[in-house]
Amino acid sequence: MFALLDCNNFFASCERVFRPELAKTPIVVLSNNDGCVIARSQEAKALGIAMGAAVHLVRPLIQRYQVRVFSANFELYGDLSNRVFSLLQESLSPKAVEIYSIDEAFLDLSMLEPRLLVDFCQELRRQTHQWTGIPVSIGIGQTKTLAKVAAGLAKKNAYKPNPSTHSGVFSLATLPCHNDSQDSILAQVPVQDIWGIGFRLTPALQGRGIQTAYDLKYADDAVLLKRYGSTLLRTVWELRGTICYPLKTTCSVRKSIVCSRSFGQMVESFTDLMQAVATYTARASEKLREDGLQAGCITVSIRTNRFRPDEKQYRASHSIRLPVPSDDTPTLIQAARQCLEHIYQHGFLYHKAGILLQELTLLSARQQDLFEVPSEHSAVLMKTLDKLNRHHGHGSIRFASEGLTRPWWMKQSHRSPCYSSRWEERPRIQVQAL
Ligand SMILES: [Mg+2]
């Protein structure tokens, strides 16, 4: 038996955790550089503010209804996400939790008696809210796909004007898979709302008369397999209650690490561009060490603003394979500099840079180089650096090549404090003895 736990309006909910006075206020969160809306609280959704809307287009709504606007604060969201997931891992077991995205996790509930499922999830939901401040919805089903469908229905329930005691948890599992009542629910779920059915597949399926999850469940296997391949067929079988996607409990080693961002203002000089590249490299190296990995290859890419056709356009990328895989920030910054020197062209206004670390291997499986003098010093230095940055917030201690003034830093005029991870931004509490 599976459950999907989904944090409601996650980024907007995170902004509320340390600002309880905003509980009923409509909230929107903006993308990097404050460009468009990437998250909305339930109240903001009700006002008709669309997902992905450019902020200048919804400005009148924001002003009229006094919507609170926040710049994305991924440090805060990542931290609160970790709190939710470690609570789940403690309540169940690390082996029963698959972290699927920053705000979603699949749970293996097969150790519970079926009649206890809903009550257990109600309690988990209550506890998550109480301990982390994040409201969640939970869907239960015989397969991951059914659990996803159920979570979608649970979320809809949670915001009904008079939510019942069971709001926020929805189970498709108490209904046998071939029971009419489960089918009647699936008949109300549009086909595009099913996990794995993308916007490209939707019109094709609709064209064949497949409008709902029910239609898809009873579609012809042979036709689907021939037309759309085995991936869609797996989804169909999962709707019928056959597990095709087991829980991925073993933490699989990641294949690559990306860090790329657009700038708050255009960048022209090599020095400024190199500062950004060095900063992204330092951040990616930190992630590398968090996972006990080392990189064998680094790629740097730069580009001008493709939305400004009036300006000269240029984009390029270059990769370097390191002589020996490394997790050492100075080594990786040095390699990134060589990449940038290779592709940098004077006379363009750059809008975005990114770095990509590949050929990742576990540090514990490190192949020594015959001519390499192993540096104990570097490992100790990196460990200390990471410890300080974890304690005081990312980028508190940084390399000179990352720059001090950083004019290219993204625009975040409405960022909330990193309450949970930076000492100087923690909320102050005044206690007065009576
Ligand atoms: Mg969510």
> Nearest CA to 85 among 2, 5, 197, 190?
5
* Six-digit token string for 331: 């080594």
Instruction: Quote the DSSP letter at residue 367.
Output: P
* Beta carbons of 9 and 42 less than 8 angstroms apart: yes
Please count the structural domains in the chain: 3
In this structure, are 236 and 111 located in the same domain? no
317 found inside a domain? yes
Do 158 and 68 belong to one domain?
Answer: yes
Confirm whether 232 is domain-assigned.
yes
Please give the residue range of the domain that contains residue 140: 1-174
**Domain assignment of residue 348, yes or no:** yes
The pLDDT, as a whole number, for residue 175 is 63
User: Is there a single domain that holds both residue 349 and residue 293?
Assistant: yes
CA 14 to ligand 1 centroid distance, Å:
11
In a domain, 119, yes or no: yes
Instruction: Indicate the DSSP class of residue 416.
Output: P
Asked if residue 87 and residue 38 are part of one domain, the reply reads yes
Examine the fold and report which residue of 252, 284, 302 is the final residue of a domain before the chain moves on: 252
Closest CA to 223 of 207, 242, 246: 207
- Of 341, 321, 333, nearest in space to 402 by CA: 333
In a domain, 422, yes or no: no
Of 189, 221, 252, the last residue of a domain is 252
**Ordered per-residue pLDDT tens for the chain, 434 residues:** 999 999 999 999 999 999 999 999 999 999 888 889 999 999 999 999 999 999 999 999 999 999 999 999 988 998 899 999 999 999 988 889 998 989 999 999 999 988 899 999 999 999 999 999 999 999 999 999 999 999 999 988 766 555 454 579 999 987 665 567 889 899 999 999 999 898 889 999 999 999 999 999 999 999 999 999 999 999 999 999 999 999 987 555 678 899 998 898 899 999 999 999 999 999 999 999 998 999 999 999 999 998 888 999 999 999 999 988 999 999 999 999 999 999 999 999 999 999 999 989 888 777 777 776 667 788 899 999 999 988 887 788 999 999 888 888 888 888 888 888 777 788 888 888 87
C-alpha span between 149 and 92 (Å, rounded): 22
220 and 117 in a common domain: no
Question: Which residue, among 195, 197, 144, 196, has the nearest Cα to 172 in the 3D structure?
Answer: 144
Asked if the structure places residue 425 within a domain, the reply is no
Q: Choose the final residue of a domain: 201, 223, 252.
A: 252
How many angstroms separate the alpha carbon of residue 260 from the centre of ligand 1? 23
Assign residue 268 the CATH number of its domain: 3.30.1490.100
- Do the beta carbons of residue 382 and residue 329 sit within 8 Å? yes
CA R_g for the chain: 25
* Helix (H/G/I), strand (E/B), else coil: 113: coil
Q: Which two tokens stand for residue 202?
A: 């939707």
DSSP code for 305: -
Give the CB-side neighbour count of residue 10, counting CA atoms within 13 A.
22
pTM for the model stands at 0.77
Whether the Cβ atoms of residue 275 and residue 328 lie closer than 8 Å to each other: no
Residue 302 shares a structural domain with residue 324:
yes
- Residue 432, H or E segment: none
Supply the pLDDT for residue 179: 63
Same domain, residue pair 242 and 264: no
Q: Are 147 and 61 part of one and the same domain?
A: yes
The rounded Å distance from CA 129 to ligand 1 centre is 14
Residues 38 and 84 reside in one and the same domain: yes
306 located within any domain: yes
Residue 7 CA, ligand 1 centroid: distance in Å? 4
Q: How far apart are the CA of 10 and the centre of ligand 1, in A?
A: 5
Query: Ligand 1 mean position to 9 CA, how many Å?
Result: 5
* Inter-residue contact 253 to 293 (CB < 8 Å): yes
What is the distance between the alpha carbons of residues 139 and 2, in angstroms, rounded to a whole number? 8
**What pLDDT is recorded for position 160?**
59
Spatial separation of the C-alpha atoms in residues 317 and 299, rounded to whole Å = 7
In the reported structure, the alpha carbon of residue 103 is separated from the centroid of ligand 1 by a whole-number distance in angstroms of 5
* Residues 141 and 43 occupy one common structural domain: yes
- Count CB-CB contacts under 10 A for residue 174: 13
What is the 279 CA–ligand 1 centroid distance (Å)? 30
Tell me which long-range contacts 161-170 makes (C-beta under 8 A, separation of at least 24): 166/118, 166/122, 168/122, 168/125, 168/135, 168/136, 168/137, 168/138, 169/118, 169/121, 169/122, 169/125, 169/137, 169/138, 169/139, 169/140, 170/137, 170/138, 170/139, 170/140
CATH number at residue 70: 3.30.70.270
- What are the tokens at 50? 């669309």
| Residues with Cβ–ion distance below 5 A, ligand 1 | 6-7, 10, 103
Q: How far is the CA of 401 from the centre of ligand 1 (A)?
A: 37
Report helix, strand or coil for 42.
helix
Regarding whether 18 and 128 lie in a shared domain, the answer is yes
Domain annotation covers residue 421: no
Per DSSP, the three-state class of 68 is strand
Q: What is the DSSP letter of 312?
A: P
The Å distance, Cα 221 to ligand 1 centre, comes to 32
- The pLDDT value given to residue 414: 87
CA of 195 to the centre of ligand 1 (A): 13
